[in-house]
Amino acid sequence: MSQYFRSLGIEKLVAVFNSTTATYKFYWLISIVELVEKGQMEIPMTHLYARMISNSWFTINYFHVSFGKADQLQELVKQILQLEPHLSMHSSKEEITQALESSPNKSTHSLLKHLGRNVPHWFLSSWFPKQTQKEIIVRSQSFEQDCLYALYQDRISINPTWLDFLKQNAKLIKDFCYWNLSLYLQARNPNVPDIPNKLIKDAARNGLSQQTNLYWKLVFQELGSIDCIYTGKRLSLENRNYSIDHFVPYSFVSHDLIWNLYPIDKSENSRKSNYLPNIKTHFDAFYQLQNQAFEIVKVQSPQNRFLEDYLPISPSLNSLSKDALLNTLQPLITIANNNGFQFYQAV
């Protein structure tokens, strides 16, 4: 890092995240850096608020990661999802940002303005310690202490002395924010798997063609058909009327391990979507199917790499214990439900 960059007082930027009690600051800085990358120096507040929402949208609405009781961003995002009929949990970041920037809904704008009550000025408190909100705003407007930006009612103005640093180190700064955000959220979701990969929506998920062709196809060929555990409909290779689904939703477990996968009626798969299975109603049938598949593949393809997925449940790979599988799935389902995932009501 150059001597010029060192003179900026980067330690003050790092100190922003000391004693963090909410996620606002992380999303505020990420949004600033993203807009600087787009060439903006005079940044309207509405653009920043919209990006804070769009950057946290997928984590909250799809993955149901808890932000903690003291954090109001989560509730704001959920309310906006209900207020904006053209948006869904699967909407892209740009769709969300554009929709919020141009929304005619006064209730949406009121919620967005809520984000401006504290974070824009308190973010600058490491440059202006023990100053009041009014003092911070006034002093920032002349870039005292080489603060990151000047704060106005409707916008922020990036300090020109920080501009090159923000542009040249944009990825590093965003990675720093996401890393610290993941630590913050993991502490509040100690039993939720794979928090770091739930902060950004993947461009595309891995498909399940390998699991389908190398594992479940063997099972279908041996059994001829498999009954859907929800509908009882007969599924077969010939009819191509099945999908491979996650028993506990992917949006919670964030993996494609074979012990959580099973064939399901295609139309039922669309209905089940992101819902949780009911253990009392569907676990027995799921276990029977898993156990059948395990035994078939173990005999027909003993070196099948997907058998290794069972090692945490069955270290010897001799048999698949019903209790061991239940003890693996039940805590995941309980935690997911506590975080906001709803149970599926099969028709």
Tell me which residues of the chain have a pLDDT lower than 50: 1
DSSP state for residue 37 in the 8-state scheme: H
State the pLDDT at residue 345.
86
**Paired tokens of 75:** 């509730």
State the pLDDT at residue 171.
96
pTM for the full predicted model? 0.86
Cα–chain center distance at 164: 30
200-221 burial by CB neighbour count: b if 16+ within 10 A, else e? Answer: ebeeeeeebeebbeebbebbbe
End-to-end CA distance of the chain: 61
State the pLDDT at residue 8.
77
State the pLDDT at residue 206.
79
